[in-house]
A and B are shown apart, each in its own frame.
Chain A
Amino acid sequence: MGTKTSFDFAGNIEGALKDDQLRRNLRKAMDILVEKRHTVFPDSNELQQLRAAGNAIKRRALQQLPQLLEQLEANCTANGIQVHWAEDTAQANRIVLDIMRRHEAPAIVKGKSMVSEEMHLNHFLAEQGIEAVETDLGEFIIQLNHETPSHIIVPAIHKNKDEVATIFHEKLADTPYTEDVEELTAIARRALRKRFASAKVGLSGVNFAIAETGTLLLVENEGNGRMCTTAPDVHVAVMGLEKVVAKLSDVPPLLRLLTGSATGQIITTYVNMITSPRKNDEQDGPKEVHLVILDNGRSRILADPQLRETLLCIRCGTCLNHCPVYVRIGGHAYGHVYPGPIGKILTPQMEGLERAGVLATASSLCGACGEVCPVKIPIPDLIRRLRNESYDQEQTAVVDGGGYKQNLAETMVWRGWELANRVPAIHEMGTRLAGAMGKHLPKVGPLKQWTCVRNTPRLARSTLHERVRNEGVSHE
């Protein structure tokens, strides 16, 4: 058999579960985020209508994705935005690098962008001698500490105030230790202002790209996004190709769903709508705007009518906030850029099942993610689909690495289970045998895992089948 899982998931989980500070930080933060979302969507009927609308808009966009992307390119180009297509992350990185080189820029100031994380852009640029400066406060904190985001919206959510204070004190020159939040924010602001002022190139993500107008929409709360997209002479926006929507009128419901689900806000402090570089009669703004549209496996996901639903995602992160697994292990344990429920379905499709299919096992299928998803992605169904693909019993797998988990031992167990539950005589024999063994079931295999924290289930002396027969319940 032999698997090529690219990371030590079990080890990561064990480490995270033992880290009491991490678990306290996560629980506290997730409770706040869940509560804030609850407060901003008080009317559940209204929320259901809004979710249905969001789902319909995104679904429609995916149905006509090639046309919408062409339209987006045409309208962006007409507006003076230079559009680049990247098949994979290597191409996307190359495009950014070429722009940097052309402008002889030694550094890039970055607004928060998960696609740039997906590209591992910072690492790539560092290898080329270019410094990437994260300017989102959370990203700034973790970059100082040489970490990656642990959450797609609030990247430093695994850290508490005291830990941030320590990081600033240790990693920023001439910074006295302080736990005062105002002062900590001021420290970050002072450090970042200098970078904004000197940067030649700024980078941002894209929340929605509007095809009919060629507009890039970006939400944020700190103003660093606006800085990155306006202060430097060059703005590079990176987006996954599923971020395109048809019309400007599609935006209000999606925006309400995004900010409400992500941070419990009716609207973010900044909503940037970027439709062109600086025009001749304008005083400021970037002289060049580039849009890099990344595929990186998305077209393949789009091709399957069920898996396609993964691409409805607007990256609000609320599935993470509501997930009983994420709240206990945090984002780093997932070992990849996108953690939590959305990561469990997206990452195996991007990376292949062999490398990342194990993520799909980390769900009790409790359904909390699907219940809150603002665009109604049936995440539990997709997790189940990936589990099916991992064994690929019916040779129908479409995800790379389909069938990687096929193994005789597990298949025999389930075949035996099937037989016992399909043939009444075998069923009866099986339950009698188990009943006779009572509490003396051998603690091997699954039962060994079960009994680490639980007592062995005590099998009844007579089964319900026997009891109903003896107690005169009708058989038909």
Chain B
Amino acid sequence: MPPRTNGDQPNKVYFFGTCLMDAVYPDAGIAAIRLLQSQGVEVVFPPQQSCCGQPAYNSGFVKQARAVARTQIQAFAKPYPIVVPSGSCAGMMKHHYPDLFAGRKEEAAARRFAGRVYELFEYLVTVLKATFEDRGDPTTVTWHSSCHALREMNVVQHAKTLIAQLKNVTLVELARETECCGFGGTFAVKQPAISAAMVKDKVADIRRTGATTLLAGDCGCLMNITGAMAHDGVAVEGRHLAEFLWERTNGH
């Protein structure tokens, strides 16, 4: 590992694994943790963590969302940065927790918590100034921006910075990169027909790039898009960028 030059970085960070990564994409979670560790920081994973609360928050069940959000605030009590491998969950914790607790006794704690939240690639690029060396074979990929990474967290450029560091990887951008894939949490099941039309168009856009791999930074979008691709027999592999990055560089 090269010697660290950014002396002011904290030596410990919290990792919030997200509920989807926990249940469906743990390999991506481990890869994200390894990437952080490769940059010389100790990663702490509080076992009491669960979900950011967004599914209930966006569905009209604010009380349950608040109870679950409170659990996270308690689980991440120490003043370490909280690194989140999802623009959507990070957006929930950074931008909506303060609203969720507005006027309540936890408001100040929620605000402090929100101030410590970083999206994974944002943290790797802007705080850890991470650079990686590609050791993989030449390949062509495309990238899907999650709406909340794009519009709430404004962090998509950091993921692209990391992709650009991989010399054997050619990125072909989607024609409609900024358009939602149709996941939207419970939207996908409350308005299944519209959601289906959206994901079908997203898959068609992906196919047109000719890429063999779809990269994303959010497991919700990934689950939606890869589910639709598998259903239609589309031979494009969907990966979380953390996993792809770790696999090709091993943190070097």
Using a CB–CB cutoff of 8 Å, the interface residues on chain A facing chain B are: 10, 13-14, 17, 324-325, 328-329, 361-368, 370-371, 381, 384, 387-391, 393-394, 405, 411, 414-415, 417-418, 420-422, 424, 427, 431, 434-435, 446, 449-460, 462-469, 471, 473-476
Contacts and interface: CB of A to CB of B under 8 A. Distances in A.
A418 B56 contact: yes
Contacts of B232: 453
Contacts of B189: 446, 449-450
Given A452-B196, A454-B227, A367 B44 contact: no
B45 A421 contact: no
A381 to B, nearest CB: 8
12 contacts: A17-B194, A365-B147, A381-B99, A421-B51, A424-B47, A455-B227, A457-B223, A459-B24, A460-B23, A462-B26, A464-B22, A476-B78
The binding surface of chain A is classed by DSSP as helix
B101 to A, nearest CB: 14
Nearest to B179: A324
Nearest to A389: B60
B38 to A, nearest CB: 13
B224 A391 contact: no
Given A13-B193, A329-B194, A468 B227 contact: no
A475 B17 CA distance: 13
Given A414-B61, A471-B30, A421 B187 contact: no
A467 B23 contact: no
Given A414-B61, A473-B43, 14 more contacts: A13-B194, A328-B197, A364-B188, A366-B151, A368-B180, A390-B60, A393-B60, A393-B62, A418-B64, A420-B50, A424-B47, A450-B188, A474-B45, A475-B47
B60 A454 contact: no
Interface string B226-242: 01101110000000000
A455 B226 CA distance: 8
A361 B30 contact: no
B71 interface: yes
B152 interface: yes
Contacts of B53: 421
Q: Give the top 8 A-B pairs by smallest Cβ distance, nearest first.
A: A364-B184, A454-B227, A387-B60, A366-B180, A421-B50, A418-B64, A366-B147, A449-B192
Nearest to B77: A476
Nearest to B15: A473
A454 B230 contact: yes
Contacts, number: 192
Contacts of A370: 151
Contacts of A463: 22-23, 26
A14 B99 CA distance: 36
Contacts of A394: 62-63
Contacts of A367: 147-148, 150-152
Interface string B163-204: 000000000000000111011111111111111111110000
B40 interface: no
Contacts of A468: 17, 29-30, 33, 45
Interface string B46-80: 11101101011111111110011011000000100
A451 to B, nearest CB: 8
Given A449-B188, A465-B47, A468-B33, A328 B194 contact: yes
B205 interface: no
A473 B37 CA distance: 10
Contact of B183 (A364, A427, A431, A458): A364
B42 interface: yes
